[in-house]
């Protein structure tokens, strides 16, 4: 089952009175959700029951709205505990309502200039508001491609404007794969395939933007020190522009990768553990954070599911140090970020392409994929030695056979001077 969200569906076509009623109910809803979140954290409910009895709290919301707020709070708290955020408990600053059909019901419009009507319950019992929604062209295309429109709707308010998010789903039937393409995810290129194609080469632009953002951050820190001294609110240090630039570039790169994949092939991906990745320098860690390798991995999986392409996550350990031709594993095989040259057999290739080739070969390697990281190098070395031993035995057999044939020819071939070949011999 594949699920996709249709975002940025504007509610601006509704009249001001309906939007005012939506503002009123959302204020009460977000306040109650925050109270529920604090209650669950204070009582240490890391796995809260969404169907549990609700705490008795004063609110103007109906029982259905209370249950919706409780379910959203349970999801937030469960995520907070699982991510081990410690003392920084979630604070709901924006407006986000994860509504179900009990409080927000979608109904397809019959004629007229709108595509859907969204009925939202208000604080006044029995007096819901009907909000018109018109789909943009891409949303219409998505609805045509998916089988089912889910009943749940998410409502957001950003910069004074209300938006709705629909969720659609369909069954993805993936056919039998014919061939495997390996994909190496990185920073010099967003993705490199075993077909020697690279996508998303914008690392220099990202580094330039990070340098600018860091310089701006230093200036803001100095300004905030002055503002705090004067008792004024400080400025935010967040940099969302670089993140948006990277995500846009990743989206374009992955779209092109999907379009270039051979029909019917499967894809081998790295089993990345981004949380364990670190550089020695702060600049390297800033670049690693900006590239969001986990986002690239998840986004690629989503797009493969969307296009019904089979994929598998394989063991990535030492894929960049292993020679794809002879299997020799050594850290100095990879001289730098781009160049790979095997110190055993002399094989040369782009380092990311060599890694992608190794990843493709591990698609069906059940034994290697089941191993923990610490045992991979030993297994690869043993395989190389076994291959080397077989190659040595084959060479020895070939040399023995050559010597035997040569010796036989000497036994059956008469000496040259035994039958002199001149004009007298043939008369």
Could you tell me which residues are beta bridge partners of residue 341?
348
pLDDT at 279: 61
User: What CA–CA distance (Å, rounded) separates 168 from 3?
Assistant: 6
pLDDT digits (tens, 9 = 90+) for 18-58: 999 999 999 999 999 999 999 999 898 889 899 999 988 88
Q: Which residue has the higher pLDDT, 396 or 37?
A: 37
Domain count, the chain: 1
Question: Rounded mean pLDDT of 98-119?
Answer: 91
Q: What percent of the chain has a predicted confidence (pLDDT) above 70? A: 86
Mean pLDDT of the chain: 85
Q: Is residue 25, in this structure, part of any structural domain at all?
A: yes
Q: Is residue 260, in this structure, part of any structural domain at all?
A: no
Poorest-confidence range of 71-75, 123-127, 147-151, 210-214? Answer: 210-214
- In degrees, rounded to 5, the angle at the alpha carbon of residue 344 between the alpha carbons of residues 341 and 346 is 40
Q: Is residue 294, in this structure, part of any structural domain at all?
A: no
pTM higher than the cut 0.85: no
Q: Is residue 150, in this structure, part of any structural domain at all?
A: yes
pLDDT at 344: 93
Examine the pLDDT at 289 and tell me if it is beyond 50.
yes
pLDDT at 408: 40
For residue 181, which of 258, 260, 267 has the smallest C-alpha distance?
267
Q: Is residue 378, in this structure, part of any structural domain at all?
A: no
pLDDT at 99: 92
Q: Is residue 224, in this structure, part of any structural domain at all?
A: no
pLDDT at 145: 84
pLDDT at 281: 64
Q: Is residue 206, in this structure, part of any structural domain at all?
A: no
Q: Is residue 213, in this structure, part of any structural domain at all?
A: no
**Helices 282-291 and 240-260: crossing angle, nearest 10°?**
60
Which residues lie below 8 Å from residue 296, measured CB to CB, with a gap of 6+? 185, 190, 191, 250, 254
pLDDT digits (tens, 9 = 90+) for 303-348: 998 888 999 999 999 999 999 999 999 999 998 888 999 999 999 9
- In degrees, rounded to 5, the angle at the alpha carbon of residue 423 between the alpha carbons of residues 417 and 425 is 60
The domain of 54 spans 2-170
pLDDT at 413: 39
Residue that the structure tokens 């709205």 belong to: 65
Residue 380 CB neighbour total at 10 angstroms? 21
Poorest-confidence range of 42-56, 96-110, 175-189, 410-424? Answer: 410-424
pLDDT at 131: 95
Buried b (16+ CB within 10 A) or exposed e, 171-204: eeeeeebeebbbbbbbbebbbbbbbebbbbebbe
């Amino acid at each position: 089952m594949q699920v996709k969200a249709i975002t940025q569906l504007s509610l601006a076509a509704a009249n001001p009175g309906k939007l005012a009623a939506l503002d009123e109910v959302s204020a009460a809803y977000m306040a109650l959700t925050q109270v529920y979140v604090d209650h669950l954290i204070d009582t240490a409910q890391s796995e809260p029951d969404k169907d549990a009895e609700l705490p008795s709290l004063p609110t103007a919301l109906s029982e259905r709205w209370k249950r919706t707020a409780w379910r959203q709070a349970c999801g937030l708290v469960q995520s907070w505990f699982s991510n081990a955020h410690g003392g920084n408990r979630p604070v709901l600053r924006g407006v986000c309502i994860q509504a179900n059909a009990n409080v927000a019901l979608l109904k397809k419009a019959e004629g007229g200039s709108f595509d859907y009507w969204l009925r939202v319950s208000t604080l006044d019992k029995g007096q819901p508001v009907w909000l018109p929604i018109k789909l943009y062209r891409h949303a219409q295309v998505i609805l045509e491609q998916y089988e089912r429109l889910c009943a749940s709707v998410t409502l957001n308010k950003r910069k004074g404007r209300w938006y709705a998010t629909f969720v659609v789903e369909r069954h993805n039937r993936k056919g039998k794969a014919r061939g495997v393409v390996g994909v190496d995810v990185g920073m010099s290129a967003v993705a490199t395939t075993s077909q020697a194609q690279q996508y998303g080469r914008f690392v220099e632009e990202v580094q330039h933007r990070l340098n600018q953002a860091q310089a701006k951050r230093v200036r803001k820190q100095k300004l905030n020190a002055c503002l705090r001294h004067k008792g004024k609110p400080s400025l935010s240090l967040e940099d969302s522009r670089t993140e948006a630039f990277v995500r846009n570039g990743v989206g374009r790169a992955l779209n092109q990768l999907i379009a270039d994949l051979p029909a019917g092939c499967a894809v081998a991906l790295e089993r990345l553990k981004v949380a364990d990745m670190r550089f020695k320098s702060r600049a390297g860690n800033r670049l690693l954070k900006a590239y969001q390798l986990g986002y690239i991995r998840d986004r690629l999986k989503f797009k493969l599911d969307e296009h019904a392409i089979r994929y598998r996550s394989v063991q990535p350990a030492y894929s960049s140090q292993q020679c794809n031709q002879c299997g020799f594993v050594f850290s100095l095989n990879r001289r730098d970020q781009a160049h790979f040259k095997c110190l055993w057999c002399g094989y040369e290739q782009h380092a990311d392409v060599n890694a992608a080739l190794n990843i493709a070969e591990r698609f069906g390697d059940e034994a290697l994929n089941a191993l923990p990281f610490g045992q991979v190098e030993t297994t690869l070395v043993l395989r190389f030695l076994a291959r080397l031993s077989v190659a040595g035995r084959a060479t020895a057999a070939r040399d023995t056979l050559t010597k035997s044939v040569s010796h036989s020819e000497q036994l059956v071939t008469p000496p040259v001077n035994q039958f002199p070949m001149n004009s007298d011999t043939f008369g």
